[in-house]
Chain A
Amino acid sequence: MSDIVKDLTNYRIKGIERAEIEYYKQLTQTLDRIEAQIVSLADQQLPRQAGKLIELQSAVAIRPKIKAILDKEYLPFADRVVRKGFGEQAKRVERQFKTIGLIPPEFQELTKGDLALVQNLKQQYYTQFKDVSNNFTRILSDKVYQNTLVGTEFTVLEKELRESINGIYATSSDPAVNRLVDYVKNNRDNPALASRVDSAVKILQSKYASTRVGENMKRYAGQILNDSLRDFDATLNFNKSKDAGLTYVKYYGDVIPTTRDICRRMVSGSLDKRANGLFTIEEIQDIWSSRSWSGKKGGNPLIVRGGYNCRHQFSYVNPDWYEEDGDETESLIESKQDTKPAQSIFGDTSSEEKKYLPLAFGTVATNFTRMINKVPKLPPIQKVKNGAYFRPSTNEIAMDSLDMENLATLRTFTHEFGHKIDHNIATILSADRKLAEKFIPNANKKILGTKLIDDVLDTSKNSKGLQISNIAQQEIMSDRKLLKDNLKIGLPSIENEKRSIINKITGKSISEKISIQTKFVEDTINAKNFPLNINEVKALLSDVGITYDPTALTTVNYVLQIKYKVIASQYGKFKKYTLANGVSENLSTRQYFNNGSFLRKFADYVGAVSDNTIGYGHTRTYYKRAFRTKTFARGYGDVTYHHSTEAFAQYTALSNTKNKEAYIKLMNYFAPNTTKTFDQIMERSKLL
């Protein structure tokens, strides 16, 4: 007879195994790229004499570049594991609780408390992945430094760097080694070839690498990948079961040759305390505390289970569900609910949307998913050579790439989908005036001889071009005025602050200079009105490939540009300003292009609001050629359809993808009125 709890536990375990295979493949590809880039970096940056490393200065200078490579390649991988991998596993846990219908309804779904736990676990395991990155930045940098210090051959360093990243799977100059490495990489997860793969690993360890290369990034990251998915499942399951009052457990999983004795005995029933095979939580704690075994992990046994690499899981049950002999009671059999997943949070979607929407908008219902649920299916995505677009008349999106593992591509897809939401929801409103009156905040407010609702739903210009983003036209103008007027103060203020710091460090020792500059940047960030904390500044700089360094001009400029709301613009004209020291200087937003970079999609959000007085991305010609809303102000221009829809599309991209919390704060800081109105529009998703 089938055992419902066993089937559902196996469903969770199989889900973890599939995710592990997928992410291990991605890890392998990521580390191969890192290996190639770091070796190439070392080759280009480290001067040699007769093949030997000679210059310590270059060896020191390479460290931030190594960090930048790891940040660029490895951290997005870690982000995917915790965001997508954990998100999907959370849904499997939820599905188990829903399928066993005997659990009270309020505990079947993921509660707010569960979601908070999921968020904390994501943060915790992301930090573990990040620690590996930081540790290996140091290890790789130390290898460069030590090899340069003693003047070894570059080829020796190259081998050490490769092995520190990929261990025995490092790329080698020996084709035989590379063949074996490829064989292991390609067949690692194929059970039919397990013994051959083991033999290949042994040959790599014994014949080609005289000692096993233990300290390598692949080993540590692979270990975290393996354990994090399983520990996440166990922690969430433990937490939900505790809330639901389930205090008995059963232990499940396959028995294979490497299964630990404790797991083998738990699964086989030789440690059973009662005929139905159930254990209380206290009994499990007693069994775990009275035994020791290789690879045992400290901590709650219900979460750490057999220890490192353990592939078994507990499931929580009520003893009333089982007869004394372990068979399921009628009530459990009858309670089993349809195991088909509930309808997607995105509604009826195309096959491409099924793949890409969860990556772009997550797997938990939000205001964005609620709106997507109401819009028509996306037609097949068109291919273009470079860039991307949305065509309102056909609802088509065109993109140059569909590699959604690339964060820039994912953000571009989310941006284009923002246009789709903007237009499709407006079409729904134009067909239902009563709904539109409720949906549009202050729908009947007067706006240049008409009402806001009438301008937003004005089909006379282009019936296919209606946009809900036009609801924010007046707020866009009020932010534009603030940003433009602020520039007269912002530009000289940045220069005054920089000169003041230069005065403070002049004549000081290097360590004093570092300390003064660090304090200056940290004080600026920690000031009450600054919108981000230091970790968010670091994350956003890393997003554009810059390492946070308070002594570097890029970091100083970035922080001051945020403080004074100044972003580069190609339309900036140089104007004379009198600085605090009485000196006149020509200043322009243009001078910040190379010395403080914002994410282009954020710069474009501000550009769309300010008509590129600050910010960049779309051109003024593009904004100008669109239909005009009723909002105009002398000296500040019109708010056109392109201003509002591009701001909304970037708001969508920035609110849903990596570092969204920080970008939401930044959008609210630079354009508070526009961002607040977009938030209000999104809140209205509940009315649809």
Chain B
Amino acid sequence: MQLEEILSMYIDKFGEEYDIDTVLLSDEAKEQLSNMLKTSIQTNKIISLKELNDFLGYDPNDPEILI
């Protein structure tokens, strides 16, 4: 299943505000994020901002950056 398909299910479940920018992820990173999303959907637990920061190595919500 493509990452965005899983992402669609994720935002259906938790809301559009929890969508994640995926545009510049490498294939390996997409695979990793897909697994994080699947686990999150199964366990009914939103991916926290800390988890996302750890995964990316920066804060994706930093208003000073363009992703």
Taking Cβ atoms with an 8 Å cutoff, the residues of A that contact B are: 383-393, 398, 400-401, 408-409, 412, 415, 419, 568, 570-571, 590, 593-594, 597, 600-601, 604, 616-622, 625, 642, 645-646, 649
Which residues of chain B come closer than 8 Å to A604, judged between CB atoms? 23
Q: Are A386 and B8 in contact (CB under 8 A)?
A: no
Which residues of chain A come closer than 8 Å to B58, judged between CB atoms? 384, 387, 389, 398
Q: Are B19 and A387 in contact (CB under 8 A)?
A: no
Q: Are A389 and B67 in contact (CB under 8 A)?
A: yes
Q: Are B2 and A593 in contact (CB under 8 A)?
A: yes
Among B4, B24, B55, B56, the one with the most A-chain Cβ atoms within 10 Å of its Cβ is B24
Question: How many angstroms from the CA of A517 to the CA of B19 in the assembled complex?
Answer: 38
Question: How many angstroms from the CA of A152 to the CA of B64 in the assembled complex?
Answer: 62
Which residues of chain A come closer than 8 Å to B20, judged between CB atoms? 619
How distant is A209 from chain B, measured CB to nearest CB, in Å?
A: 36
Question: How many angstroms from the CA of A349 to the CA of B32 in the assembled complex?
Answer: 35
Q: Are B64 and A393 in contact (CB under 8 A)?
A: yes
How distant is B26 from chain A, measured CB to nearest CB, in Å?
A: 6
Choose from B8, B22, B23 the contact partner of A590 (Cβ within 8 Å). B8
Question: How many angstroms from the CA of A454 to the CA of B60 in the assembled complex?
Answer: 30
Which residues of chain B come closer than 8 Å to A391, judged between CB atoms? 64-66
Q: List 7 A-B contacts (CB under 8 A).
A: A387-B25, A388-B24, A408-B26, A593-B5, A600-B23, A618-B67, A622-B67
Q: Are A386 and B29 in contact (CB under 8 A)?
A: yes
Chain A residue nearest to B29 in the complex (CB): A386
Choose from B4, B7, B16, B57 the contact partner of A386 (Cβ within 8 Å). B57
Q: Are B55 and A386 in contact (CB under 8 A)?
A: yes
Q: A385-B56, A570-B4 are in contact. Are A620 and B66 (CB under 8 A)?
A: no
Q: Are B57 and A619 in contact (CB under 8 A)?
A: no
Question: How many angstroms from the CA of A570 to the CA of B7 in the assembled complex?
Answer: 7
Which residues of chain A come closer than 8 Å to B67, judged between CB atoms? 387-389, 618, 622
Q: Which 8 A-B pairs have the closest CB atoms?
A: A385-B57, A617-B23, A384-B57, A619-B19, A386-B29, A570-B8, A389-B65, A593-B5
Chain A residue nearest to B32 in the complex (CB): A386
Question: How many angstroms from the CA of A571 to the CA of B26 in the assembled complex?
Answer: 22
Which residues of chain B come closer than 8 Å to A621, judged between CB atoms? 16-17, 19
B11 contacts the other chain (CB 8 A): yes
Choose from B1, B22, B26, B32 the contact partner of A617 (Cβ within 8 Å). B22
Among B5, B20, B55, B66, the one with the most A-chain Cβ atoms within 10 Å of its Cβ is B66
Choose from B5, B19, B66 the contact partner of A594 (Cβ within 8 Å). B5
Question: How many angstroms from the CA of A390 to the CA of B64 in the assembled complex?
Answer: 9
Which residues of chain B come closer than 8 Å to A649, judged between CB atoms? 66
Q: A390-B66, A570-B8 are in contact. Are A384 and B56 (CB under 8 A)?
A: yes
Q: Are A594 and B55 in contact (CB under 8 A)?
A: no
Choose from B19, B23, B54, B57 the contact partner of A601 (Cβ within 8 Å). B23
Q: Are B11 and A570 in contact (CB under 8 A)?
A: yes
Q: Are B29 and A387 in contact (CB under 8 A)?
A: yes
A-B contacts besides A385-B54, A389-B58, 13 pairs, CB < 8 Å? A386-B25, A386-B55, A386-B56, A386-B57, A389-B65, A391-B64, A570-B4, A570-B5, A601-B23, A618-B21, A642-B66, A646-B66, A649-B66
Choose from B8, B21, B23, B24 the contact partner of A593 (Cβ within 8 Å). B8
Which residues of chain A come closer than 8 Å to B66, judged between CB atoms? 389-392, 419, 642, 645-646, 649
Q: Are B55 and A385 in contact (CB under 8 A)?
A: yes
Q: Are A412 and B57 in contact (CB under 8 A)?
A: no
Contact pattern, B 26-37, Cβ under 8 Å of A = 1, otherwise 0: 110100110000
Question: How many angstroms from the CA of A571 to the CA of B67 in the assembled complex?
Answer: 20
How distant is A595 from chain B, measured CB to nearest CB, in Å?
A: 10
